[in-house]
Amino acid sequence: MTLKKPIKINSQEEFKEVFENYFNPLVNFINQYVQNIENSREIVQNTFLKLWDKKDVLTIETSLKNYLYRSAKNAMIDYIRKHEKVKLISDEKEQLIYNLPDTDDSYLSPYIIRNEILKAMEELKPKNKEIFRLSKFEGLTYEEIAKHLNISKRSVEDNVARATIKLKEILLRTSQIFD
């Protein structure tokens, strides 16, 4: 097994290249959740600003892509915590939220939702869980996951779809958030 060489951004040109290669894909990734292109751009710009600010001390041990997606995801969570109550994707969940008591802490933190998803993932089969995690939490493409796990892209697609359906069932059945 060969070890990857740590990544370091040493110059303005290197930073510019990283920015040009990843800005739009990261905006698209974040916009899937935030659903506002301007806010998504702001989140990604802040991600790159932090990367530039830390360039002298930062050494990236994982792949650059994974690092950027994870950083953008964390910036998005921070943004949501500061600027919005949780946006719920499904109408079912939105109705459940309307029925929560009106108290100062009646909204759901993204961290609570993430913890509920992580608990539900424990019920998935190990392979299914790993593929879902790589796709949704690490931001890898289906092709990257297929190559990494030495399986077909179609198998990755099927596993992600099965995991999504199973997680939805588990969350609706067991989640204390919506009780």
Domain ranges of the chain: 12-83, 103-174
pTM: 0.45
- Whether the pLDDT of residue 45 is over 90: the answer is yes
Asked if CATH classification 3.40.50.880 holds for the domain at 103-174, the reply, yes or no, is no
- The hierarchical CATH code for the domain 12-83 is 1.10.1740
pLDDT of residue 110: 58
pLDDT of residue 2: 44
Can you tell me which residue has the tokens 């974040």? 30
User: Tokens in use for 48?
Assistant: 């790159």
Pairs from 118-127 (Cβ < 8 Å, separation ≥ 24): 120/167, 120/170, 120/171, 120/174, 120/175, 121/163, 121/167, 123/166, 123/170, 124/163, 124/166, 124/167, 127/159
Residue 59 φ/ψ, nearest 5 degrees = -125, 120
Q: Are 135 and 159 in contact (CB under 8 A)?
A: no
Helix (H) or strand (E) run with residue 151 in it: none
Secondary structure in 3-state letters for 26-87:
HHHHHHHHHCCHHHHHHHHHHHHHHHHHCCCCCCECCCHHHHHHHHHHHHHHHHHHHHCCCC
Displacement of CA 155 from its chain's centroid (Å): 21
pLDDT of residue 3: 45
Q: Are 162 and 153 in contact (CB under 8 A)?
A: no
Cα dihedral sign for 23, 26, 32, 34?
Answer: negative
pLDDT band at 151 (very low <50, low <70, confident <90, very high): very high
Q: What is the pLDDT of residues 1-38, one digit of tens each?
A: 444 555 677 778 888 888 888 888 888 888 888 888 88
> CB-hemisphere CA count at 13 Å for 135?
22
